[in-house]
Amino acid sequence: MEKGKGGGWSLGLAGLLSPVTLWLGLFFMVPLLLILAYSFGTSGVYGGITLGFNPGNYLKVFDPLYLQIIVRTLVIAVTNTVLCLLLGYPLAYFVTFKGGRRKNLLILMVMIPFWTSLLLRAYAWVVILGGNGIANRVLQFLHITDHPLDLIFTPQAVTMGMVYSYLPFMVLPLYAALEKFDPRLKEAAQDLGASRWHTFWQVTFPLSMPGVIAGSILVFIPSAGEFVIPNLLGGARTVLVGNLIQQQFLQARDWAFGSALAVMLAALLVGAIMFYVRKVGAEKLEGV
Amino acid sequence: MGESKTGRAHKGLGKLPDRALLLLTALVYMFLYAPILVLVFFSFNSTKNTQVWTGFSLQWYGALLHDQSVLDAFRTSMIVGVTATAISTVIGTFTALALTRHRFRGKTFADSTIYAATVMPEIVVGVSLLVFFVAAGLQLGILTIIIAHVAFCISFVTIVVRARLAGMDRSLEEAAQDLGANPVETFLRVTLPLILPGVMAGALLAFTLSVDDFVITFFVSGVGSSTLPLKIYSMIKFGVSPVINALSTVVLVATMVLILGGSRILIRKENA
C-alpha cells in the first residue's frame, strides 16, 4: 500500500483485484486443487469418484503399459526441444546480429506462426505426410524410394509436427536474450585474440543462457502434454501422455488416474520454473 | 549449432560462415512457411485432391458458405470470442493497474499465478475445468467455454497492458489529481486514453487466443456447442479435404490480420 493516500486507495485496490481473484481463483486455482484431490481418490466402476488418500493412481505409472507411454513422451519432448534449439539458435542469432534494418520484419515473421493455430499447423503436416502426400512424391522424384513410405502415423511424424509447431516458442526467448547482448563484448573478446569459435562459446552463448533455458521450458512443457499432434500425426501407434490423459477423461472415465497424470504434468512445470528461477533469477521471469 | 560449424570453418574460408548462417536461416524460414503455403495453395484446387494441382477454383470457399455446421461453429466462435474478449480485457486491465500502481501483500503470489496461467499446459487447464464444471453441476456448453476462455485470456491481457503502464509517465495523472480530479475521473480522462493502445492490443490478443483455442475448448464444450477449431478437428478426423484447407485459410488470414493490426497499434503509438 502507498502510505498517506488514505483508505480510498485500499478500497480502490480491492476493487481492481477482486474480479481477477474471483475468476482465476474459481476457474483456475480451485479446478487445479480439485484434480489434486481427485488424483488421490478412487474411481468407481461407473465413473464416479470416492475421495480419500489413495496413492495407487500415481503408482500406476510404473505399470509397464503406462511407463512405456511416459518414456516415449519424454523422449519425443526432449528430441523436440533439442531440435528446436539447433534450428532456432542460428535463426535467432542471424536475426539479432545480421538482421540489420529488416530485424523487426524478420522477428514478426517468427511471431506470425507463433500466434496461428497449432491445430491448423498440425493439419498442414497431415496433408504433406499423408499416403500420397507431397513428401512422398518428393522422395520418389528424388529416387530415394520407389514406393510411397509410411511417413504419417510414426513417432518421427509426431516429432516433425512438434518441431514445426514449437520452433517459434524457442526463437522468441532466444531473440529476447540475444537482443540484450552488448556487441562490444564480442569485439572485446576478438580484440583480445579469441577466434569467432571461442568468442561464441565463451562469451555469446553463456550470456544467452536465460533465453536457452526459457525457450527450452516453453518447448518442453507443452510438448510433454501435447495431444493434438500425436492424435493427428501419431495415430494409435504413438500414444503420448496427453492422449492417455484425454482417454482417461473422455473414454475410460478413470478420472482419478487422469487427474494424477495431469498433476504430474503440472508438477513438471513447477519444477521447470523453479529450475529457471534458480539459474536465471526470479526478476527475469517476466521475460518468459 | 550454426555458429559452431561455421566458426571453425571461418579461419580458412573467409565469408563462408556468414553464408552458411544465412542459408540455414533461410531454410528455417522456408520450413516455417512452406507447409502453411501448401495448405493455402490447395484450398484453391479445382478437384477434391489436396496433393496434386488440377486448376484454380473457389468452389471450396463456396462449399463453406453452404455448410450449416460450419456457419454455426463460426457463430459460436464469434459469440465466445467477443464475450470472452470483453470480460477478460476489463479484468486484465484492472489487474495490470493493481499490479503496477500498488504494493500489497501477496503481490508475488498474484504475479506467479498470472504467469502460471500462461504457461500451464493447456490439457491440464482443460481437464481441471472439466472436472470443476461437472462437480459444480454446470451444463457444458457455450457458457462453460466462455468462462474457460476468460480464464486463460486474463493473464495475457494483464501482461500486455502492464507493459504499456510500466512505460507510462505518471506526471500527467498527478497533474490531473492536483487539479482536483477524483481517481475515477483521472482514470477515465487521463490514464485510459494513454494506455488505450495497450488495452486494444490486449483485446486483439485475447480475441485471437479465444478464436484459435482448441485444447481447452475441447474439454469444456458440450453437445451442440462446437467452435470453429472443434469443427475443423472433427473434419480432419473425418478425412483430408480441400474444404478444410479453405476453412484453415480463412482462419489463418483472420489471425494474421488481427496480429498485424495489434502490433501496428502498439508500434505506431510507441513511436508517436
A242 touches chain B (CB under 8 A): yes
In this structure, are residues B117 and B243 in contact, taking their beta carbons and an 8 Å threshold?
no
Which chain A residues are closer than 8 Å to B95 by Cβ? 16-17, 19-20
- Which amino acid, one-letter code, is at A210? P
Query: Which pLDDT belongs to residue B7?
Result: 43
A 149-208: CB under 8 A from B: 164, 167-168, 195-197, 200-201, 204
SS3 B101: helix
| Distance from the first to the final alpha carbon of chain A | 27
What ipTM, to 2 d.p.?
A: 0.88
pLDDT at B76: 95
Q: Which of residues 41-70 of B touch A (CB under 8 A)?
A: 42, 50-51
Asked whether the beta carbons of A98 and A186 are under 8 A apart, the reply is: no
pLDDT in tens, B66-108: 999 999 999 999 999 999 999 999 999 999 999 988 888 888 8
pLDDT at residue number A258: 94
Question: For residue B207, what is the nearest residue in chain A, using CA coordinates?
Answer: A115
Say yes or no for a CB contact (<8 Å) between B236 and A273.
no
B250 close contact with A: CB closer than 8 A: no
Q: Which of these, A256, A250, A257, A227, lies nearest to A239 by C-alpha position?
A: A227
Burial label for B130, CB within 10 Å (0-12, 13-18, 19+), is buried
The residue among A212, A30, A267, A71 whose CA lies nearest residue B121 is: A267
Joined together, the cell numbers standing for residue A99 give: 538482421
pLDDT of residue A15: 85
**Which residues, in sequence order, are bridge partners of residue A49?**
A43
**B121 with A225: Cβ contact below 8 A:** yes
For residue A266, the chain B residues in CB contact (below 8 A) are 120-121, 124
More reliable by pLDDT, B264 or A105: A105
- CA A33, chain centre distance (Å): 22
Q: Are A57 and A257 in contact (CB under 8 A)?
A: yes
pLDDT surpassing 50 at residue A287: no
Strand partners, A42: A50
**What are A14-73's pLDDT values in tens digits?**
888 899 999 999 999 999 999 999 999 988 876 678 888 889 899 998 999 999 999 999
Task: Tell me which DSSP letter residue A49 carries.
Answer: E
pLDDT at residue number B3:
43
pLDDT along chain B (272 residues), means of 10: 42 65 93 91 84 84 91 95 97 93 84 89 96 94 96 95 85 86 85 90 92 95 90 89 90 86 70 50
CA torsion through residues B34, B36, B39, B45, sign: negative
Q: Which helix (H) or strand (E) holds A42?
A: strand A42-43
Question: What is residue A171's predicted lDDT score, i.e. its pLDDT?
Answer: 95
- Cβ atoms of A213 and A258 within 8 Å: the answer is no
**Does the structure show a pLDDT above 80 at A286?**
no
Q: How far is B133 from chain A (nearest CA, A)?
A: 9
CA distance A55 to chain B (A): 19
